[in-house]
Chain A
Amino acid sequence: MNIVIVEDEPLVLQRTKRLTLEILRLQQPKIQCFTDIDDAELYLAENSIDLLLLDLNLKGRNGFDLLKNNVAAGYHTIIISAYAEKAIDAFQYGVLDFVAKPFTIERLSKAFDRILDKSQRNYYGCRYLSIKKLGVIELIALPDISHIQADGHYSLIHLVNQIEMSALHSKSIEKIMQLLPENFLRVHRSYVVNMNNVNKLLIQPGSQYAVKLNSGVEIPVGRTKYQEVKFYLELKQ
């Protein structure tokens, strides 16, 4: 497990590193520390990691730009900041967790739980998916998303209005699922569907299942997922 910590105050950096090693000692993480976000970005551009622990001065000029940039990446981002009042904003952009300073080992391990147990879903208010297109960050509002398709280590995000203009996200479909609210269901190994956008559930010959979206597109539903999808749609009605 590769982890990067960005923190400008040496003592706090020391603390974050120490506690992380303690919590994740079974995973034997490799930790890289930076006191400066610019140095960290150079490293992140070259190396693939699993988790970024970022101390972000969200008050500053480019705090949120940095945040949007990092949440667009393939790794999860956990913010550790004294600016607790900015937590809601940070969650909107899709950070995995927001740890307010001062923090205890218990709070930090709770944040790491979400990394370790990928099936765990705790929706904290993500409203956008951040996407890097030709080096430019774009925000996609969740209601605009029709469905998400797994594409290797990446995910292809299909939009409600512009089906042809689907966008590629650097995170895997599992990681994206961790950020999304209840109405996004993993209907298939390779598909996540925005249930608000589902027209009806189709039962095809040979026990094949599918959901028909408002746009007319049909998405296959896994055998094991069928009951869940049916239950959700009945509940909605």
Chain B
Amino acid sequence: MFVRYIKKLIFLIPFLSMCVLAVNSESILNTGIKNKFNEVSIKIIKQGDELNCHLIVTKDNHWKKITFDQIPQYKHFCIRTWVNIDNSLMTSPPSLLVGMLGSSSFYWDENLISQNGKVGTSIDTEVPGIVKTLVSLPEPLIFDGKHLLSGEISTFNLSKKLNTIGYILLLVNERDLHSKILILSILSAIFIGISLILAIIFQLFYWLYQKEISYLAFSMFCLSSSLILVIEQAKFWLDYTYDWHIFRLSTIYSLTFLTSWLLPFFYLLNYRFPHKWLCTIFITLGLIGLSFIAISYDQASTFLFSGALFSALVINAFSAFHLKKGHFNVIILLLSLSFLYFIPDYFNEFGFSLVFIFIVMTMLVSLIKEMHSNKVEALKAERVKTELLRRNMQPHFLMNCLTQLMELIEVKPKKAVEFISVLSDEFRQLTTQSSQNIIGLSEEIILCNKHLAIMSVRYQQSYQLKVNGKTEDIFIPPTILHSQIENCFTHNEISSNRSFQLTVTNTNGNINLVLKTPIEKKIDHQGTGLGEKYIKARLAEFERVNTKTKKAHSCSFESYEESQYWVSKFSFLS
């Protein structure tokens, strides 16, 4: 028990180390930035204003002071900021990095250094620029002292009002920046690769191994997650004009919604939840509600994903409690949620990928476990079948019958022939039934009667099985009643004409079978041996087969002693 938990904790190590790595590389990016402009002066340019914002002599003391992420939308404006250059602190000439949704032209000490799109005074005159600008400053212009960085910007080509459109404005060491972007891209590429491969693997599982809808859901989950990552990373390698940005954001948003929906949906399918469709509707409505509350795309993603993690957590907790599986998922999901809650800053860049990867891992583990248990079940079922044959043709039974036959042949040959025919009847029916998973109750009763006929000859009694209730249209796993009747003779010496009783009740498809077998001179204890195990294995197989064919049966079996009878209760709930 303890060792098992240790093993599971070891599984957490990569998770933790990746968290550390993620946090570290993100902070590398931040500390590597020099001269981040926390404050810029801004002036909105109105129709007819003179364009003198790049001149050093222009006085900007009275201009409004804002931070870069507050730059306005649907406006044409000028921003200015003063930069102190100290060459002794720099290893190489700096570059200007701008990330914003707008067309712009930037000047360094009145010299044009970048032109991104065409700044216009309205949506008609503006040509949209690309979202990211990276230009190196001309070396001769970088001398020690104060410099003016000014930019003329227009932001008319936005189809929708956004929370913020200015993302970044800073001077960077270009080489450092590239190496950092490379690290980020490699990590993302790994995540994307893993998810895509998993998506393919689970498609193959679905089509070639077993048509389990949960495999398909899982494959879709992997695919949509990898698409999110691809589009999320697009800003690094795709230079698109800023009017496409909203399209990109809405795509990410839709994919996030899909992914968030697929996560709990997968768990519902995987655990074969009792009210999975009701739960699915509830989760869908919840996610839609969450996306309405959010004020920005980023927040919506965070909300959606928290919603997904939370519902997955609830599902797993329920399953851990009731179905006794999914304990480890609960831990992972709790960690993911706390990651999301305590370090939200890193979520969109890294948290998402990390959380995703670990959810994927737990899913994979649980799927592999399920496949393993399926395999074990199949093997068990196979063993049960052979066991059944062996049990009923067990040497003792056979040898005892043969002894009877010897006597009959020598004394009453006609009786011997009769006995042989009852015996062969039972064996024939057993051999046929053992290869089936389901038989009619009436067939089972015929088999029981055959066994009782044999026993009647052996003990020179006339044992009878009394059946109360309708036996038509009831299907059960084969030989479960027969096995109990047989057990009755193994565990008892029944030397009187006590009756065997079977009561069948059927209310709305919920079937109860109660079999009473007499107890008389117990040889050994009933109810702990092979018979019990055999019946349980049979029921488990019956359940498994019926779940596949969507006839969601749940079987139960109990047996106990009650006033000189051994009572075996079978219930089949549909």
Contacts and interface: CB of A to CB of B under 8 A. Distances in A.
Interface stretch (A41-49, A99-107, A156-164): A99-107
Given A11-B408, A15-B407, A102-B403, A82 B460 contact: no
A30 to B, nearest CB: 22
Given A10-B459, A35-B495, A101 B400 contact: yes
A83 B459 CA distance: 18
Nearest to B399: A82
Contacts of B459: 8-10
Contacts of A61: 523-525
B245 interface: no
Contacts of B407: 11-12, 14-15, 18
Interface in A99-130: 100-104
Interface in A41-80: 57, 59-61
A10 B493 CA distance: 12
Most chain A CB neighbours (cut-off 10 Å) among B403, B404, B460: B403
B524 A11 contact: no
A85 B396 CA distance: 10
A58 B524 CA distance: 11
A216 B459 CA distance: 58
A11 B406 CA distance: 10
A36 B521 contact: yes
A187 B408 CA distance: 49
Interface in A189-211: none
B405 interface: yes
B395 interface: yes
Contacts of B525: 61
B392 to A, nearest CB: 15
B523 A57 contact: yes
Interface string A10-34: 1110110010000000000000000
A90 to B, nearest CB: 15
B405 A82 contact: no
B495 A36 contact: yes
Contacts of A101: 399-400, 402-403
Nearest to A63: B523
Contacts of A84: 395, 399
B294 to A, nearest CB: 71
A12 B460 CA distance: 11
Given A9-B458, A10-B459, A11-B404, A100 B399 contact: yes
Interface string B404-434: 1111101100000000000000000000000
Given A15-B403, A60-B524, A101-B402, A8 B460 contact: no
A36 B493 CA distance: 9
A126 B352 CA distance: 76
A211 B128 CA distance: 124
Majority-rule SS of A interface residues: loop
A60 B523 contact: yes
A209 B148 CA distance: 135
B523 A82 contact: no
Interface residues of B, number: 23
Nearest to B493: A8
A30 B411 CA distance: 22
Nearest to A103: B403
Interface residues of A, number: 23
Nearest to A83: B396
Contacts of B396: 59, 82-83
Given A8-B459, A61-B525, A84-B395, A15 B406 contact: yes
Contact of B400 (A9, A18, A35): A9
Contacts of A14: 407, 411
A56 to B, nearest CB: 11
Contacts of B495: 8, 35-36
Nearest to A104: B406
B225 to A, nearest CB: 59
Contacts of A9: 400, 403-404, 458-459
Contacts of A82: 395-396, 399-400, 403
A75 to B, nearest CB: 24
Nearest to A80: B403
Contacts of A102: 399, 402-403, 405-406
A85 B460 CA distance: 27
A32 to B, nearest CB: 18
Nearest to B458: A9
A15 to B, nearest CB: 4
Contacts of A36: 493, 495, 521
Interface string B452-493: 000001111000000000000000000000000000000001
A10 B494 CA distance: 12
A14 B521 CA distance: 22
Interface in B513-542: 521, 523-525
A85 B394 CA distance: 12
Nearest to A60: B523
A102 B493 CA distance: 20
Contacts of A59: 396, 524
Contact of B460 (A10, A15, A18, A100): A10
Interface string A80-97: 001111000000000000
Contacts of B523: 57, 60-61
Contacts of B406: 15, 102-104
Nearest to B457: A11
B518 to A, nearest CB: 15
A60 B410 CA distance: 31
B434 to A, nearest CB: 23
A8 B521 CA distance: 12
A85 B395 CA distance: 10
A131 B532 CA distance: 38
B200 to A, nearest CB: 55
A106 to B, nearest CB: 12
A8 B490 CA distance: 12
Contacts of B460: 10-11
Nearest to B398: A82
A10 B415 CA distance: 14
Contacts of A8: 459, 493, 495
A101 B525 CA distance: 25
Contacts of A10: 459-460
B419 to A, nearest CB: 9
Contacts of A35: 493, 495
A102 B395 CA distance: 11
Interface in B493-517: 493, 495
Contacts of B410: 15
Nearest to B521: A36
Contacts of A15: 403, 406-407, 410
A61 B521 CA distance: 12
Interface of B: 395-396, 399-400, 402-408, 410-411, 457-460, 493, 495, 521, 523-525
Top 3 closest pairs, chain A to chain B, by CB? A82-B399, A15-B407, A102-B403
29 contacts: A8-B493, A8-B495, A9-B459, A10-B459, A10-B460, A11-B404, A11-B407, A11-B457, A11-B458, A11-B460, A15-B403, A15-B407, A18-B407, A18-B411, A35-B493, A36-B495, A57-B523, A59-B396, A59-B524, A60-B523, A61-B523, A61-B524, A61-B525, A82-B399, A101-B399, A101-B402, A101-B403, A102-B399, A102-B405
